[in-house]
Amino acid sequence: QAPAQLACAVGMASSSMLLRGCQCPPRLVAVAPMTLALFGFWCCVFIAGLDIMSLRETGWLFPAAEDQPFWEMWTAQQPDLVDWPLLVPQPSTFAGLGMVLMLSLTLRVAGIEGSTGVVLDVDEEVKWTGVSSAVAGLCGGVIGSHSPGLTTFNQEAGMTCVRAALLAAIFQLGLWFSGVPAMNFFPRFLLAGILMNLGLVMLVEWMWTARRKVGKLGLLVIYAQVASSAILGLLPSVLIGVAAPRGPA
């Protein structure tokens, strides 16, 4: 089943790029492929009478999650199973990881500035990212971070104000309070297609559109970072960006 799922994900990502190349309205490009893929998938399931459990076993759907009230994350805890000394990081680990995270966040903020043309206060962005991550962690969530890819995707969709962030936050809070396992209804290839589309948008932005924004040296650094990220991983790519010599544009 893996080749069929991969084909669906590639088809969804490719359709987004084709719609973008046809100069379709940005909001249509952002919504139409995901909506049509989700609608088409469930239409095929109901028309063909496919078994939901079989789809989960073959990997088309995520493993089933149960409906749980939001307060269960605090009530269903087993602190006696936690090895508390392991939760306290060693000074060297804490300092090194903190430096990498701050450096990564600063580069993300710089990437957003470069792709949107908006000047951000780096100190304020880093401070409030730390505060929000601490609050999210205490509530059982995950850390927050800036996303150049999602920011570019949101901008291309025609949304340049704070309403998109507010609506996303309200929607997530609604799902959290309801306890409904939304991922039970989303096929795996839908998430893969979204990630592929974001990756393609970022590659086009940095490897093609960037030719009109940076000089030859900057472009060479970008290509080296993309290649090292694909072959070696994220950290070598970050180190290349930091260690790259400054030169004339």
| 3-class SS letters over the chain | CHHHHHHHHHHHHHHHHHHHHCCCCHHHHHHHHHHHHHHHHHHHHHHHCCCHHHHHHCCCECCCCCCCCCCHHHHCCCHHHCCHHHHCCCHHHHHHHHHHHHHHHHHHHHHHHHHHCCCCCHHHHHHHHHHHHHHHHHCCCCCCCCCHHHHHHHHHCCCCCCHHHHHHHHHHHHHHHHCCCHHHHCEHHHHHHHHHHHHHHHHHHHHCHHHHCCCHHHHHHHHHHHHHHHHCCHHHHHHHHHHCCCCCC
Of the pLDDT bands very low, low, confident and very high (cuts 50, 70, 90), residue 1 is: low
> Tokens at residue 81, please?
């199973």
Instruction: Specify whether the backbone of 158 is left (phi greater than 0), alpha (psi in -120 to 50) or beta.
Output: left
pLDDT exceeds cutoff 60 at 144: yes
Instruction: Please write the tens of the pLDDT for every residue from 233-242.
Output: 877 887 787 7
- The pTM of this model reads 0.68
Give the mean pLDDT of the chain.
81
Give CA–CA dist 101/141, Å, rounded: 18
Of the pLDDT bands very low, low, confident and very high (cuts 50, 70, 90), residue 211 is: confident
Mean per-residue pLDDT for 64-92? Answer: 77
